[in-house]
């Protein structure tokens, strides 16, 4: 695996507008992406596909490189 952070797009349909609990079976994980730009492009695509669904939300999560020496 290359050095540097990895990025993931995660989300799905939530059961209420407080966005605390996903509807069972709706969770999606996309990635990993090597750059934030790639993750943002994916986020825009899945968000646009679901923009008519008010209870669907996606976010970008960064996974730091754990192999780097401190």
- Domain assignment present for residue 27? The answer is yes
Residue 68 in any domain: the answer is no
Q: What is the pLDDT of residue 2?
A: 47
- Supply the pLDDT for residue 6: 97
Domain that holds residue 49: 6-63
Residue 1 lies in a domain: no
Please state the domain count of the chain: 1
Q: Kindly report the pTM of this predicted structure.
A: 0.84
Mean pLDDT for back-to-back runs of 10 residues, the chain (70 residues): 82 95 97 98 97 96 80
Q: Tell me whether residue 34 is in a domain.
A: yes
Paired strand residues for 26: none
Q: What is the pLDDT of residue 14?
A: 97
What is the 8-class DSSP label of residue 22? Answer: B
Taking the CB of residue 43, how many other CB atoms lie within 10 A of it?
20
């Amino acid at each position: 695996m290359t050095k540097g952070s990895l990025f993931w797009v995660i989300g799905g349909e939530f059961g209420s507008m407080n966005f605390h609990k996903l509807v069972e079976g709706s969770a999606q994980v996309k990635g990993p992406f090597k750059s934030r730009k790639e993750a943002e492009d994916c986020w825009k695509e899945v968000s646009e596909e679901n923009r008519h669904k008010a209870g669907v939300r996606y976010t970008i999560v960064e996974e730091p490189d754990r192999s780097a020496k401190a």
